[in-house]
Structure 1
Amino acid sequence: MWGKNSANVTDTTAISVHGTNPQNLVEKILRSKIYNHAYWKEHCFGLTAESLVDKAMELDTVGGTFGGIREPSHFIQLTLKMLQIQPEKEIVLEFIKNEDYKYVRALGAFYLRLTGRPAEVFQYLEPLYNDYRKLRRRLASGEYCLVHVDELVDELLRDEYVFDLALPHLPKRHTLVASGLLTGPRRSALEEDLNELIAEEEAAEAAAKAEAKAAAKAAAKEQKAAAEAAAREKEAAAASRRPPPPPPPPPRGRGEMERHGEEGRRGEAERRGERRGERRGRSPDRGDRGGRGGRGGGRSYSRSPSPRRRGRSRGRRSPSSSASSYSYSYSSSGRRSGSGERGGSGERGRRSPRR
């Protein structure tokens, strides 16, 4: 039995917490203020674990003391009542798991932080990091501010003085993991969302890399096309600076063309005459008499009488006639013209009067 038998004593069935009376977790000065407060006397007298839930559902703020006289809030008075009656652990866990009333959850979390073991505190309070609902908090100045449930839970796990109460010492989490009281690091409910976010970021980064690679390829292609265009322009400029080709030779006149054709025909006739003389065993210089049709090719040949004919003329003709000679010439048209003492004019059959 704790102290005297009165309305402010701890329940007889309560067990000690951290080696002392559960109500001693609240400082004596604060306990005295709570015992003398009207809310404690009117609403907290004779509460049980079942009726305490109704009072917790009526809460609208969280906090310790406020104002100039450091008046205790309803939240801290219900916390002291829970320490006095010491409800069962299942009821406290139901307070923490309550998702409909956020102030009931905050009250159960604060009570578990005061009375629970370190491993239980981490085990049941860490899931509350996923609760982002807003709470109204009464400050020491009497003003109100908004705080989220996850912020309040983080404050309970990290700080040693909350709501004007000194919290029991809580070892670090890695110490509990090393001692085997906790298994592994804390797994957040946001881990799946974080993994999805990381996957989306990686996909976006891969898409950005692919887009950058495609843009680089397009830029390289454009640069290559620009280089080819510049090379073509350079070649065109070089071609424009080249000297113009020489003008074609002027067209030949008709007389010049006829002259060149005549020279070609004469050269051909000479070559034919030379070949004919070689075949007959004659000297090429003697030439040929030529014939009709212009075989001479326009070249003139001289003819002298043979010695036999020359002897006959000695006997029959006068000396003047023996010295007669004939000469023939061929024009380009192939006609023969002769001249000599016999004919004078070159006509055949005309003789001198002396004959």
Structure 2
Amino acid sequence: MRKPAFHRADERRFLDERGSSGPLAPNGLNPATIMEKAVRERIVDSYFYKEQCFGVNEADIVDRVVEHVDFIGGVTGTVQKPTPFLCLAFKLLQLAPGDDVVDEYLRHGGDRFKYLRALAVFYVRLTRPDRDVYARLEPFLEDRRKLRRKGKSGTSLTYMDEFVDDLLTKDRVCSTSLWKMRRRDILEDLEILEPRVSPLGTLEDLLEEEEEEEAMQNGDDANGQGHDGDSDSVRSVSRSRSETRPRSRSKSRSRSGSERERSNHDRMDVDEPGTQRSRGGRSP
């Protein structure tokens, strides 16, 4: 009698048989041993993995991310409890989705659900060769959406571009040791990758922009000094005019005083009628 097909609840079978019978990841690593042994055992024994990751497929991963993942991280707390993010990443290692599914996670699903994109870029970094990792992850360095990160020290705020940059530059992310990739400049020298053009421009363009800004600032400062010189000249002219005005007033005052003295002197020289009569009476 033929035995009915069923899904085993014990996920340790994946850890036991994957190394001998299962296919390898595209980068040549064994998916069952990509994460450290202590982390794998905590994931398999966790309540979230047993309840939410049992019997799911690639489409169910989207539902689990939307419902249960609201932060990224590896293990948290003093007991080093694995996060739902890390549990779903381990489930993706077991499902081994193809490139078409991963692209769906990254682009179409990632535009609506940012934690689905974060999970996808983390999975790409774990399983894809270095050429594909750079080609798939670098476009998301322009994603500025906020992410919550939870670790042993607590919850903190990060961004999608920072998380992608950590995956490209660091050796350990989310309590997982990342396999060592070749640097990008080495891949460029080997003509495996084309040189990346940053949205900010090349270093020469940035230096030219800084020089232009400095030249504009120096020109503005020179123009400001010219205006100050003009104002100083205007002030000196106004001062000279104010100094000459009191002198003209003193001259006018002196002239008016001399005219008054002359008029009085003329009046004293002219004989009045009374004086002529008196003189006439005194004459013999």
Q: What TM bracket, shorter-length normalisation? A: 0.5 to 0.7
| Structure 2 equivalent of residue 32 of structure 1 | 41
- How much is the aligned-residue C-alpha RMSD, in angstroms? 3.6
Match of 1:338 in 2: none
2:159 aligned to which of 133, 136, 148 = 148
Change (3 A) 1:201 1:94: farther
2: CA distance between counterparts of 1:219 and 1:162?
59
| Superposition map of 1:69-148 within 5 A | 69-97=79-107, 98-141=110-153, 143-148=154-159
Shift of 1:83: 0.6
Q: Hey, what's the Cα distance between the residues in 1 that align with 2:91 and 2:37?
A: 14
Deviation at 1:69, TM superposition (A): 2.1
Q: SS in structure 1 opposite 2:105?
A: helix
SS in structure 1 at match of 2:147: strand
CA contact (8 A) 2:167 2:173 kept: yes
**2:192 equivalent to 1:181:** yes
1:205/1:28 CA distance change after superposition, 3 Å: same
1:62 is aligned to 2:109: no
Tell me the TM-score normalized by structure 2: 0.67
CA distance in 2, matches of 1:222, 1:153: 57
Name the CA distance, whole Å, in 1 between partners of 2:152 and 2:220: 57
Higher relative contact order (CA 8 A, sep 6+): 2
Structure 1 residue 47 displacement after superposition: 1.3
Residue in structure 2 matching 1:166, options 158, 177, 180: 177
Paired residues for 1:120-269 under 5 Å: 120-141=132-153, 143-188=154-199, 190-191=200-201, 202=212, 206=216, 208-221=217-230
Report the counterpart of residue 285 of structure 1 in structure 2: none
Alignment of 1:266-281 (within 5 A): none
The count of residues paired between Structure 1 and Structure 2 equals 227
Once residues 133 and 150 of structure 1 are traced to their aligned partners in structure 2, the CA distance between those partners, rounded to angstroms, is 8
Cα deviation, 1:8-63, whole Å, max 9, x if unaligned, reads 42597743454342121012222122222222222111111122221122211211
Q: Distance in 1 between matches of 2:34 and 2:89?
A: 11
Change over 3 Å in CA distance of 1:221–1:51 after alignment to 2: closer
Deviations 1:86-115 (A, max 9, x none): 001121122222111111011001001111
Greater shift after overlay, 149-158 or 103-112?
A: 149-158
Equivalent residues in 2 for 1:281-296 (5 A)?
A: none
Question: 1:152: Cα distance to partner?
Answer: 1.1
Counterparts of 1:329-348 in structure 2 under 5 Å?
Answer: none
SS state of the match for residue 97, structure 2? Answer: coil
* Cα distance per residue 1:219-278 (max 9 Å; x no partner): 4455667788999989xx9xxxxxxxxxxxxxxxxxxxxxxxxxxxxxxxxxxxxxxxxx
Point out the more displaced range, 217-226 or 80-89: 217-226
Higher helix share: 2
Cα offset, 1:84, TM superposition: 0.7
Closer/same/farther in 2, CA of residues 222 and 162 from structure 1, 3 Å limit: closer
Q: Distance in 1 between matches of 2:96 and 2:52?
A: 17
1:167-218 alpha-carbon deviations (Å, 9 max, x no partner): 0002222111111111113423x449xx89x869947953x44443444434
CA distance in 1 between partners of 2:180 and 2:138 (Å): 17
Displacement, 1:70? 1.5
8 Å contact from structure 1 (residues 62, 136) kept in 2: yes
In structure 1, the gaps of 5 or more residues are 238-355
Greater Rg over alpha carbons, structure = 1
1:14–1:85 contact (8 Å) kept in structure 2: no
- Identify if the C-alpha distance between structure 1 residues 83 and 217 changes in structure 2 by more than 3 Å, giving closer, same or farther: same
Q: Which stretch of the first structure deviates more once superposed, 130-139 or 160-169? A: 130-139
Q: % of aligned pairs identical?
A: 30
